[in-house]
Amino acid sequence: MNRLMIAMVTAAMAFSFVPAMAQPDLEPNSYAAMGCMKLRECTDGVIRLRSVDQLIKQYGDSDFNQYKEEIQRMLESLETAGVQVFLADPDNFPRTHRGTYYTDTNMFFLNSGYVYNAEVFMKVFRHEGWHAAQDCMAGSIDNSMIAVIYNDELIPQPYKLDAQIRYGMMAPKAIPWEQEAIWAGNVPNMTADALDSCSTKTMWSDYTPTPMTAEWLTNNGYIQ
């Protein structure tokens, strides 16, 4: 084999064995790890969730079957609306985070260290799904805004108190959105109904916008 052929073969071999980009080495259970997951640069232990069967396979828990219709309905509405759902290993979250929804990327991530139990899964899934519905209420799933869906006086008092306890010290400004999501997390099909409205683009006819949201939607050309 002449020198030119040897050089060509050597170059081809080198090109063929270029290693894949390694996952960033970040401190586990940190906000940096969660941000890396959001950017889809950290993908170890992060899987796209598309069906109830995945949950049963992941956790070996047939109790998920009792929620099968609601889960599948939510997954399909989220898919239609353009929202992706992921299960992720606990190392990708700060220790107290059970899940998170991002309005700018339209993704939400569920902490597999918490949601192995079907009842807990449903509360977290409904909760984060409600934030996606709030994203829809704010004009479009494609923007990064979020709006409450119900007037404050309609929120049952126990969920208001729960939100105060959870967020009153660290994030009091989040309470209006979180008290709704806590409520939805405890009510079967409440989130599924809202996500149906989101996916069919009937949000503002199915749910009357609050006065402040209506003003925002009108000023930004979403409604007349």
- pLDDT digit string, tens, across residues 14-62: 433 334 456 788 888 899 999 999 899 989 999 999 999 999 888 887 8
CA 80/CA 196 separation, integer angstroms: 9
pTM, two decimal places: 0.87
Query: Which pLDDT score, from 0 to 100, does residue 21 have?
Result: 52
**Higher-confidence position of 209 and 12:** 209
Token pair in block for residue 156: 């049952």
Query: Which pLDDT score, from 0 to 100, does residue 15 have?
Result: 35
Handedness of CA 133, 135, 137, 141 (dihedral sign): negative
pLDDT digits (tens, 9 = 90+) for 135-187: 999 998 888 899 999 999 999 999 999 999 999 888 999 999 999 999 999 99
Q: In what order do the strands lie in the sheet with 46-48?
A: 46-48, 84-88, 107-111, 99-102
Query: Which pLDDT score, from 0 to 100, does residue 99 have?
Result: 92
What 3-state class would DSSP assign to 50? coil
H-run or E-run covering 85: strand 84-88
pLDDT digits (tens, 9 = 90+) for 68-95: 999 999 999 999 999 999 999 999 999 8
Q: Chain centroid to CA 16: how far?
A: 37
CB neighbour class for 94 (10 Å; exposed up to 12, middle 13-18, buried from 19): middle
Query: Which pLDDT score, from 0 to 100, does residue 29 have?
Result: 85
Instruction: Check pLDDT > 80 for residue 4.
Output: no
